Amino acid sequence: MTPAPLRCPTCRAPFRAALCGRCGADLAPLIAIATAAHARRERARLALAAGDAAEAQRLVLEARQLHDTGRGRALEAIAAVALGQRDESLRLLRMS
């Protein structure tokens, strides 16, 4: 699963720098939010590996509130399976 590139909210150009190469918009706040979401997804992966599915689910929910991604939904589905939440996991996998 390849993540969708982040896009400038002003001109929709994909970006990787703090200033949009097309329109010059300041994208640093968006990058900070995406980075915070990524850090939570990484912590959720570690929690799953340590057998703490409840903590993983909490972290990935926080991540999705910041930046909703297919990877985040898949990770949340894994946590839901680990917690025996079959219907929730199926719902999340349909969204991914």
Question: Rule CB under 5 A: which residues touch Zn ion?
Answer: 8, 10-11, 13, 20, 22-23, 25
Q: Which is nearer to Zn ion, 32 or 46 (CB)?
A: 32
Nearest distance from residue 27's CB to Zn ion, in Å? 8
Q: How many C-beta atoms lie closer than 10 Å to residue 93's C-beta?
A: 15
Nearest distance from residue 5's CB to Zn ion, in Å? 13
Q: Which is nearer to Zn ion, 11 or 36 (CB)?
A: 11
Could you give the dihedral angle defined by the CA atoms of residues 57, 59, 62 and 66, in that order, rounded to the nearest 10 degrees?
Answer: -120
Nearest distance from residue 65's CB to Zn ion, in Å? 24
Q: Which is nearer to Zn ion, 8 or 74 (CB)?
A: 8
Q: Which two tokens stand for residue 11?
A: 């001109």
Q: Which two tokens stand for residue 29?
A: 């706040």
